[in-house]
C-alpha cells in the first residue's frame, strides 16, 4: 500500500502512540507512509523514536517520518488525522471550568458546552481552520479526520470556512455503551446487532437497535431491561441521575453519560454537582500525566539501550475508529460505523441542515454516508435545537471575531442567562486567555 497518513498533533502521548497501535494491527495499510507532525519538537521526537522502534520490531511494516513543518508533512497526503489542542490543555480547561462558575454560571464540564465550551471553541477553531486550509491547498483530495474537541463546533466551523474539505469527526464516547453494557442489557453479541444513533457529539441518543439475524426491533428489549441492569451500577462520571432522568422524561437513552449531557441542558445542574465534574477533570488530568510519563519512560529506556522486547505499542485495538474507517474507504467496503460526526444533509430532517450531527453511517470510497433518520421525536429535536442554535452563534462569533456575537452567545447559553454575567465572564476570560483567543472586537 502506498498511502500517506499524516498525524497532526502526533506529539501527544494520548494520540500518536494509540493510533500506531491500530496501524500495527492493519494489513490493509502495510507499506504506507505515516508522517508524524507536531509543533512541539521535543514531544514529537519522543513519539517518533518510540513509534519507529516498535515499527522496527514488527518488520518495518510502515515508512515512518516526522517533521515540524506542516507544508512538508501534508505534501502528498491521502488522510490527515487531527488531534491538536491550542495551549496547555488542562491549565486552560480549569479556567474554562471555574471562571464562569465564579460569576454565577451553572457551568459543569466547560469542555464542549457552556461558557467554558465557547472559549475552548474560540481557542481551537481558528487554529484548526488554518490546518484545514493548508490541507485544502496542499492535498485537496485528502480526507480530514478530526478528533479534537469541541467536536461539533469545530466541524461546523470547518464546514463553513473550508467547504470543499472532505471532513468528518470521530469520538469514542459510544464505547461507554456498546463495549460492555449494551450486550448485557439485550443479551446479544454486539456483532449481531445494528446500533443506530442520532444527535450531536456528546449529546446524542440511542435511536434504534436491530437484530441482524432476525430483523427484530430490539429497542423494546432494551427499554424493558435497562432499569434492572443499571440498578446499583450508577456511575457519576457516566450513567447516573441525569442520564436516567432524561431517559425517563424524554423516552430515549442518551448514551454519552452525565458528565457530557450536563453541559447542554438547563436542568443539568440539578442532577450533577460541580464537585463531580471537578473530580472528573482531575482524573483526566492525572491519566494524561500518566500517559506522558509512560511515554517518557519508554523513550528513556530506548536511549539507554534497554527497550523492552515487546515494545510499547503491541497490543489490542485502541478503541478509536480512524484506522478502520481509512481501511474501509480504501477497500470501498460499505462497512458500518455506529457513531460519526458529519454534516446533516437531510439525515435528521427536523434539525437544522447547516449542522454537523453525530449519527450512524456506512463507509465506502466516497467517505461516510449517514443513516437517514427522517424526523426524530419532537422532544429530542427540541433540546438538540437549543444547543444547535448556540453552536451556530458560537461559530459565527469566532469566524467574524465579533465581541457582540460572543457575548450574545454566552448570554443565551443554558448555563448562563444574563448579559451582565456574560460580559463579566467574557472580560475575565479575555484577560487570562487573550494570547490564545481571536481578536474579538
Report pLDDT digits (tens) over 342-368.
Answer: 999 999 999 999 999 999 999 999 999
86: CATH: 3.40.50.720
CA distance 337 to 329: 12
pLDDT band at 21 (very low <50, low <70, confident <90, very high): confident
Cell of 93: 480547561
Share of the chain above pLDDT 90, in %: 90
Q: Contact 186/222 with Cβ under 8 angstroms? A: yes
Q: Between β-strands 4-8 and 33-37, what pairing exists: parallel, antiparallel or unpaired?
A: parallel
Q: Give the pLDDT mean for 83-109.
A: 96
CA distance 358 to 348: 10
Q: Roughly how many angstroms between the first and final C-alpha of the chain, as a whole number?
A: 49
Q: Per residue in 285-319, pLDDT tens?
A: 999 999 999 999 999 999 999 999 888 876 778 88
Q: Give the pLDDT mean for 175-183.
A: 92
Q: Between β-strands 193-200 and 203-211, what pairing exists: parallel, antiparallel or unpaired?
A: antiparallel
Residue 105 lies in a domain: yes
Q: Contact 340/358 with Cβ under 8 angstroms? A: yes
331 DSSP assignment:
H
Share of the chain above pLDDT 70, in %: 100
Residue 315 pLDDT: 74
Residue 41 lies in a domain: yes
Cα dihedral: 49, 53, 58, 59 (round 10) = 100
Total H helices, total E strands in the chain? 17, 11
Paired strand residues for 145:
81, 168
**H-assigned helices in 35-88:** 41-57, 70-74
Q: Contact 345/359 with Cβ under 8 angstroms? A: no
Return the H-helix or E-strand segment holding 22. Answer: helix 16-24
> Is the previous residue joined to 150 through a cis bond, with omega within 30 degrees of 0?
yes
- Which pTM was predicted? 0.96
373-384 in b/e burial notation, b at 16+ Cβ within 10 A? beebeeebbebb
Among the listed residues 243, 280, 238, the one whose alpha carbon sits nearest the alpha carbon of residue 265: 243
Residue 309 pLDDT: 86
Q: Is a pLDDT exceeding 80 seen at residue 424?
A: yes
Residue 314 pLDDT: 66
Residue 180 lies in a domain: no
Q: Which residues span the domain enclosing 42?
A: 4-169
Residue 94 lies in a domain: yes
CA distance 204 to 196: 11
Of 103-112, 116-125, 140-149, 315-324, where does mean pLDDT reach its minimum? 315-324
Q: How many domains does the chain have?
A: 1
Residue 74 lies in a domain: yes
Q: Is a pLDDT exceeding 80 seen at residue 16?
A: no
Residue, of 313 and 49, whose pLDDT is higher: 49
**Cα 373–364–156 angle (5° rounding)?**
55
pLDDT band at 417 (very low <50, low <70, confident <90, very high): confident
Q: Give the pLDDT mean for 32-56.
A: 95
pLDDT band at 17 (very low <50, low <70, confident <90, very high): confident
Residue 32 pLDDT: 97
Residue 405 lies in a domain: no
Residue 135 lies in a domain: yes
Residue 101 lies in a domain: yes
Cell of 151: 467536536
**H-assigned helices in 187-273:** 219-230, 241-250, 258-261, 268-271
Q: Give the pLDDT mean for 250-267.
A: 96
Residue 311 pLDDT: 84
Mean pLDDT for the chain?
Answer: 95
Q: Is a pLDDT exceeding 80 seen at residue 13?
A: no
CA distance 371 to 346: 10
Residue with cell 511515554: 295
Q: Report CA-CA distances (Å) from 49 to 37, 66, 68, 196, 347.
A: 13, 10, 15, 40, 43
Contacts of 273 (CB under 8 A, 6+ apart): none
Amino acid at each position: 500500500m502506498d498511502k500517506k497518513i499524516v498525524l497532526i498533533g502526533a506529539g501527544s502521548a494520548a494520540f500518536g502512540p494509540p493510533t500506531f497501535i491500530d496501524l500495527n494491527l492493519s494489513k490493509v495499510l502495510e507499506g504506507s507512509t505515516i508522517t508524524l507532525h507536531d509543533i512541539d519538537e521535543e514531544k514529537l521526537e519522543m513519539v517518533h523514536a518510540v513509534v519507529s522502534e516498535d515499527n522496527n520490531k514488527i518488520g518495518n511494516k510502515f515508512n515512518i517520518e516526522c517533521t515540524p513543518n506542516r507544508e512538508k508533512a501534508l505534501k502528498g497526503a491521502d488522510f490527515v488525522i487531527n488531534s491538536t489542542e491550542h495551549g496547555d490543555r488542562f491549565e486552560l480547561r480549569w479556567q474554562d471550568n471555574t471562571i464562569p462558575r465564579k460569576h454565577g454560571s451553572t457551568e459543569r464540564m466547560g469542555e464542549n458546552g457552556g461558557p467554558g465550551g465557547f472559549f475552548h471553541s474560540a481557542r481551537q477553531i481558528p487554529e484548526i481552520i488554518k490546518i484545514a486550509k493548508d490541507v485544502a491547498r496542499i492535498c485537496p483530495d485528502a480526507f480530514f479526520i478530526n478528533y479534537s474537541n469541541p467536536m461539533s463546533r469545530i466541524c461546523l466551523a470547518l464546514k463553513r470556512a473550508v467547504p470543499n474539505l472532505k471532513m468528518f469527526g470521530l469520538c469514542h464516547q459510544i464505547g461507554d455503551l456498546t463495549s460492555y453494557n449494551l450486550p448485557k442489557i439485550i443479551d446479544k453479541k454486539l456483532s449481531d446487532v445494528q446500533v443506530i444513533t442520532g444527535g450531536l457529539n456528546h449529546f446524542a441518543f440511542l435511536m434504534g437497535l436491530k437484530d441482524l439475524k432476525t430483523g427484530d426491533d430490539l429497542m423494546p428489549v432494551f427499554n424493558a431491561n435497562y432499569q434492572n441492569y443499571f440498578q446499583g451500577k450508577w456511575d457519576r462520571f457516566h450513567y447516573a441521575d441525569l442520564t436516567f432522568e432524561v431517559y425517563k422524561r424524554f423516552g430515549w437513552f442518551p448514551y454519552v453519560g452525565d458528565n457530557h449531557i450536563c453541559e447542554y441542558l438547563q436542568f443539568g445542574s440539578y442532577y450533577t454537582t460541580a464537585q463531580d465534574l471537578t473530580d472528573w477533570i482531575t482524573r483526566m488530568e492525572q491519566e494524561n500525566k500518566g500517559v506522558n510519563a509512560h511515554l517518557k519512560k519508554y523513550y528513556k529506556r530506548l536511549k539507554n539501550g534497554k527497550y523492552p522486547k515487546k515494545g510499547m505499542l503491541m497490543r489490542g485495538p485502541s478503541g478509536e475508529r480512524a484506522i478502520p474507517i481509512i481501511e474501509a474507504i480504501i477497500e470501498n467496503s460499505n462497512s458500518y460505523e455506529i457513531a460519526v460526526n458529519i454534516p446533516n444533509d437531510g439525515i435528521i430532517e427536523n434539525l437544522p441542515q447547516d449542522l454537523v450531527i453525530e449519527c450512524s453511517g456506512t463507509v465506502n470510497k466516497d467517505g461516510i454516508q449517514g443513516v437517514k433518520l427522517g424526523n426524530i421525536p419532537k422532544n429530542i429535536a427540541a433540546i438538540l435545537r437549543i444547543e444547535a442554535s448556540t453552536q451556530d452563534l458560537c461559530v459565527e462569533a469566532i469566524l467574524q471575531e465579533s465581541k457582540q456575537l460572543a457575548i450574545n452567545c454566552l448570554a443565551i447559553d443554558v448555563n448562563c442567562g444574563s448579559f451582565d454575567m456574560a460580559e463579566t465572564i467574557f472580560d475575565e476570560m479575555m484577560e487570562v486567555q487573550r494570547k490564545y483567543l481571536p481578536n474579538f472586537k
